[in-house]
Amino acid sequence: MSIVTVQLGQCGNQIGFEVFDALFNDSHCPRGLCSKRENEAYQASCKERFFSEEENGVLVARAVLVDMEPKVINQTLSKAAHSGLWKYGQHSCFCQKQGSGNNWAYGYSVHGPRHEESIMNLIRKEVEKCDSLSGFFIIMSMAGGTGSGLGAFVTQNLQDQYSSALKMNQIIWPYGNGEVIVQNYNSILTLSHLYRSSDALLVHENDAVHKICAKLMNIKQISFCDINQVLAHQLGSVFQPTYSGEGSFHYRRNPLGAFKDPALYTSWLEPVHAFSVWKTQRAFRKYEKSAALVSNSQSLVKPLDMIVGKAWNMFASRAYLHQYTKFGIEEEDFLDSFMLLEQVIASYCNL
């Protein structure tokens, strides 16, 4: 079962490269505690899921790269090809910005429709290379113009054209102290649209990853490359192939004592159904032991409520609304987004 990755904007393309590089390096790491046969099956599973293979043996990432200017895409293609072991195909799409800045409305209402046919054709070509499509993995920013507005538009199109395939969006939650002045507007519009069209959102907070780099990895001068590599490691471990082989992979419902406590879960969900463990003897990259936790919990209620509150304060004073209305996003669209996200917050608070 193959996954087609869609990398959107500077954020999505830079993280996407690190993810594919981590997956490739992992598949060529020492096999840890598993047998040679199990390791070969693991490598084959990883290749089938994320790469296609050329006749010369070079692996090609199952990915489509999209940005509104060529610089980042060219850098990403070059870095991948430089390894000589894996690369991206020529499936990339870009155009020059036209005074749009970090504008969600421009990415969603102008750039998306203008390049819909070419972007979806590139995605279709990647899908046709798959013997069996499992779904799409969309990597994007939540607050930027291209990565968020265009990402919401592309995800909506994927839902329309590939309704039976899984759509999982990995979104980068912006720094709390702000990256762009309209990031809260962009964020609520992105989240409300993805809520309607995506099957799952994997959220990473920039502030939390920054803290990992500073406190756990003791990095003094933290760069975006450092942050992206941490994200890639976490995402790679989540997508690590779980091959059963000769019993090396195990799936058990709630086998850990600490996770049996009913207080950890909502009242209508039994602990035995609320927590599952997937494990394999195969080490991930250079780590003999590692663990990744994916949870659906109330942890994002506070940051989500904060973003909605900040966006509402700006909206109440009509700040920067003209940047959105001139590209077709009306005040009613904002009100719909506020209402939906406030319902989401209320639902999570009532768990």
DSSP of 252-283, one letter per residue?
Answer: EES-SGGGG-GGGS-TTS-HHHH-EEEE-SBP
How many CA within 13 A on the CB side of residue 348? 15
Please choose, from the candidates 219, 234, 167, the residue with its C-alpha nearest in 3D space to the C-alpha of residue 197: 167
Predicted TM-score (pTM) of this structure: 0.90
Torsion of CA 341, 344, 350, 351, to 10 degrees: -150
Q: Mind listing the pLDDT tens digit of every residue in the chain (351 residues)? A: 899 999 998 889 999 999 999 999 888 877 667 788 888 888 888 888 999 988 888 899 999 999 888 888 999 999 998 878 899 986 666 665 555 556 899 989 998 999 999 999 999 999 999 999 999 999 998 987 766 999 999 999 999 999 999 999 999 888 887 767 899 999 999 999 999 999 999 999 888 899 999 998 999 999 888 999 999 988 888 887 664 433 344 445 555 767 777 788 888 877 777 887 777 778 787 777 777 888 888 888 999 999 999 999 999 999 999 999 999 999 999 999 999 999 999 998 887
End-to-end CA distance of the chain: 34
Determine the angle formed by the axes of helices 151-161 and 112-128, rounding to 10 degrees.
Answer: 50
Q: How far from 249 is each of 27, 241, 267, CA to CA, in Å?
A: 16, 10, 31
